[in-house]
Amino acid sequence: MAAFAKSDVRQSLEAIRAQALAELAESSGLDQIESVRVRVLGRSGELTELIRSMRELPEHERPAVGQLANQVKREIEARIESLQHELRLRKLNESLAQTPLDVTLPGVRFFHGHTHPLTQVTERLLDIWAAMGFEVVATPDIEDDFHNFGALNFAPDHPARDMQDTFFLDGGLLLRTHTSNGQIRVMEQRRPPLAVVCPGACYRRDELSVRYSPMFSQIEGFAVDDFGKITMAHLKGALTEFLRAFFGPESEVRFRASFFPFTEPSAEADVRCIFCAGAGCRVCKQSGWIEILGSGMIHPNVLRAVGYDPERYAGFAFGMGVERLALIKLGVDDMRLFFENDLRFLGQF
Ligand SMILES: [Zn+2]
């Protein structure tokens, strides 16, 4: 290629500028603007090629011509940018004009779901036990007679085994009537020391009423260690700690002797009525105390049933009804409210 003369390059630059600006002035769409950009400023565009060819100019002529080339390039780029901006803005305004936006309309209200109050209470209860070092273990709802009754020292003629009380399934199976089967399931598989809580659903043939439901939730808990390491004092200490964590640090707790087939001795734990502070009211049936849970030292026959030597190991166990604790804690007086799933009720928690 023959060497360029300085004046030729100047003329070419001016020509490119004039033509590009004229075309841009007439273009009416983003596509047209883009095609001008590619033709002039693209990798093999007119201006790009011209700037590249300027290397062939004599060295002393280059600075002045280079300056002009940069000026032309910047001018065209700036014009393209402002046109693009203008066109996009016009497009936006057009679309807003077609679909008017009324900023005074009320917004859409979003309803945020939350966990069911019984789930909230269950989680709270398990958190307290977990903080005391108890492990949470899930155990089966469908059981056999051995894990639900036999291993828990229920006599063969115990009334709980009655068809009136228990849902029996085919093949000698049944729906567990309490979470105490968790004790048997875990102890069968592991050796002490153990500190475990087993939450879950239980089933009994009760009609749904203010106080009963055919399906309800319990949390079973137990701790087993070498004989002498776990006593009734540990049971009282753990349950008192638990009840105060749940009902408040000032809660007064008492233990009453009781009877369960799977514990010996057995005790029920009460808290001072939180509604009347002990003065007597409808909830506590004027007694000033609310019965909360059953507990006791694991019966030697239960330890034997899972292959533990009762001379070597000892443990305590307790069981509590989640609905009952929720009723008291949330100040609700009808068990059915938990199962009807009325959002007006559930939304309060
Ligand atoms: Zn009361």
Q: What is the pLDDT of residue 33?
A: 93
Q: What is the pLDDT of residue 268?
A: 96
Long-range contacts of 113-116 (CB under 8 A, 24+ apart): 114/349, 116/338, 116/346
From the CA of 289, how far away is ligand 1's center (Å)?
7
Q: What is the pLDDT of residue 5?
A: 66
Per-residue pLDDT of the chain (349 residues; tens, 9 = 90+): 444 567 788 899 999 999 999 999 998 888 999 999 999 999 999 999 988 888 888 888 888 888 999 999 999 999 999 999 999 999 888 888 888 778 888 888 877 788 888 999 999 999 999 999 999 999 999 999 999 999 999 988 888 777 678 899 999 899 999 999 999 999 999 999 999 999 999 999 988 887 788 999 999 999 999 999 999 999 999 999 999 999 999 889 999 999 999 999 999 999 998 888 889 888 788 999 999 999 999 999 999 999 999 999 999 999 999 998 998 888 887 888 888 888 888 888 7
DSSP string, 103-161: TTSPPPPPPPP---HHHHHHHHHHHHHHHTTPEE----SEEEHHHHTGGGT--TT-GGG
Contacts of 301 (CB under 8 A, 6+ apart): 153
CB-based burial, 324-341: b 16+ in 10 Å, e otherwise: bbbbbbbebeebebbeee
Q: What is the pLDDT of residue 4?
A: 56
From the CA of 121, how far away is ligand 1's center (Å)?
21
CA distance 219 to 123: 11
Q: Are β-strands 135-136 and 194-203 bridged in parallel, bridged antiparallel, or unpaired?
A: parallel
From the CA of 324, how far away is ligand 1's center (Å)?
15
CB-based burial, 110-143: b 16+ in 10 Å, e otherwise: eeeeeeebbeebbeebbebbeeeebeebebeeeb
From the CA of 214, how far away is ligand 1's center (Å)?
27
From the CA of 5, how far away is ligand 1's center (Å)?
108
CA distance 303 to 234: 18
From the CA of 253, how far away is ligand 1's center (Å)?
14
From the CA of 118, how far away is ligand 1's center (Å)?
22
From the CA of 272, how far away is ligand 1's center (Å)?
8
Q: What is the DSSP letter of 287?
A: S
From the CA of 246, how far away is ligand 1's center (Å)?
17
Q: What is the pLDDT of residue 77?
A: 94
Smallest CA-to-CA distance from 266 within 292, 226, 298 is with: 298
From the CA of 194, how far away is ligand 1's center (Å)?
36
From the CA of 216, how far away is ligand 1's center (Å)?
24
From the CA of 128, how far away is ligand 1's center (Å)?
25
Q: What is the pLDDT of residue 2?
A: 46
Does the global pTM surpass 0.75? Answer: no
From the CA of 249, how far away is ligand 1's center (Å)?
18
Coil, helix or strand at residue 44: coil
For the chain, how far is it from start to end, CA to CA, in angstroms? 86
From the CA of 271, how far away is ligand 1's center (Å)?
10
Q: What is the pLDDT of residue 1?
A: 43
Q: Are 315 and 297 in contact (CB under 8 A)?
A: yes
Bond from prior residue into 58 cis (ω within 30 degrees of 0): no
Q: Are 76 and 47 in contact (CB under 8 A)?
A: yes
From the CA of 56, how far away is ligand 1's center (Å)?
104
Q: What is the pLDDT of residue 212?
A: 82
